[in-house]
């Protein structure tokens, strides 16, 4: 069993417990009552943006399977507010419980504190989770190509758009990028961390980003330690970077986000 398989097994168990507490029809009612979703695609640049800026997706992340405990984060809403002040374009909140020590309670706290689009970051393997994300005010959900077959990917992406949200469709290989593009993904991430082994290879991004179709927002995921890594990603085609560990461990995340944005913008201008 791979690391990804093990995570998903736990996700399914936790999902069944939540489903028992909130029946599907009740969840749909709550989703219909949620405030209208914000446009995360536009916030990340969209198809018409000249792409001279590098957007930052700043993540509220306590723990990871590869690094263990990262930060206590007793006040996720306060951290998210700092991200917003620092210039983040989107905020990501981990809600997976077992490996990341996240929760929907964290998500709710952040939603109440900021006006930016929010990514509900979890391992989505059932349509219930997509409705659940909307019911909690999510604007963006994560769809991991390695965790879904083509029918699920198309169906979940269509449901996401039907509910007015966007999806960050995560890939790790050329074949997964092709699958994401065929499904109609508009925001495509390249995760340089292999979720089956947890190995990281920053050079992977440069070889894959050019395969993503024009008009899609290109997101670099994992491996950002400093502005130099952001510059590397931007130089090779990233329109946005998703950063968790480097920000939650930084005493001045506002400044770090500004530095990442500046480094990315310089790299994008140089390649233009």
169: tokens are 């469709």
168 DSSP β-pair partners: 142, 187
Q: Contact 136/108 with Cβ under 8 angstroms?
A: yes
182 alpha-carbon distance from chain centroid: 20
Q: Contact 93/80 with Cβ under 8 angstroms?
A: yes
Q: What angle do CA 36, 37, 38 make, to 5 degrees?
A: 120
Q: Contact 49/223 with Cβ under 8 angstroms?
A: no
Torsion sign, CA atoms 198, 92, 257, 78: negative
What residues act catalytically? Answer: 59, 61, 121, 170, 191, 221-222
Q: Contact 265/45 with Cβ under 8 angstroms?
A: no
């Amino acid at each position: 069993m791979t690391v990804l398989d093990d995570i998903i097994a736990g996700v399914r168990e936790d999902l069944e417990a939540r489903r028992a507490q909130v029946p599907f029809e009740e969840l749909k009612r709550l989703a219909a009552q949620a405030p209208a979703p914000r446009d995360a695609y536009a916030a990340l640049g969209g198809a018409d943006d000249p792409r001279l800026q590098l957007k930052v997706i700043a993540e509220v992340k306590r723990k990871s399977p590869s690094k263990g405990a990262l930060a206590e984060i007793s006040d996720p809403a306060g951290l998210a507010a700092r991200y917003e002040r620092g210039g983040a374009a989107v905020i990501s909140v981990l809600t997976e419980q077992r490996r990341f020590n996240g929760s929907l309670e964290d998500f709710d706290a952040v939603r109440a504190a900021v006006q930016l689009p929010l990514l509900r970051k979890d391992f989505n393997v059932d349509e219930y989770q997509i409705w659940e994300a909307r019911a909690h005010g999510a604007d963006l959900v994560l769809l991991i190509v390695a965790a879904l077959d083509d029918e699920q990917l198309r169906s979940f992406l269509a449901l996401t758009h039907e509910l007015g949200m966007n999806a960050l469709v995560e890939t790790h290989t050329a074949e997964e990028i092709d699958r994401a593009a065929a499904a109609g993904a508009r925001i495509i991430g390249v995760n340089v961390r292999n979720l089956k082994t947890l190995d990281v290879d920053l050079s992977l991004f440069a070889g894959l980003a050019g395969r993503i179709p024009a008009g899609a927002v290109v997101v670099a995921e994992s491996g950002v330690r400093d502005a130099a890594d952001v510059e590397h990603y931007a130089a090779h085609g990233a329109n946005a970077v998703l950063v968790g560990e480097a920000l939650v461990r930084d005493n001045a995340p506002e400044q770090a986000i500004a530095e990442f944005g500046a480094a990315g913008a310089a790299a994008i201008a140089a390649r233009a």
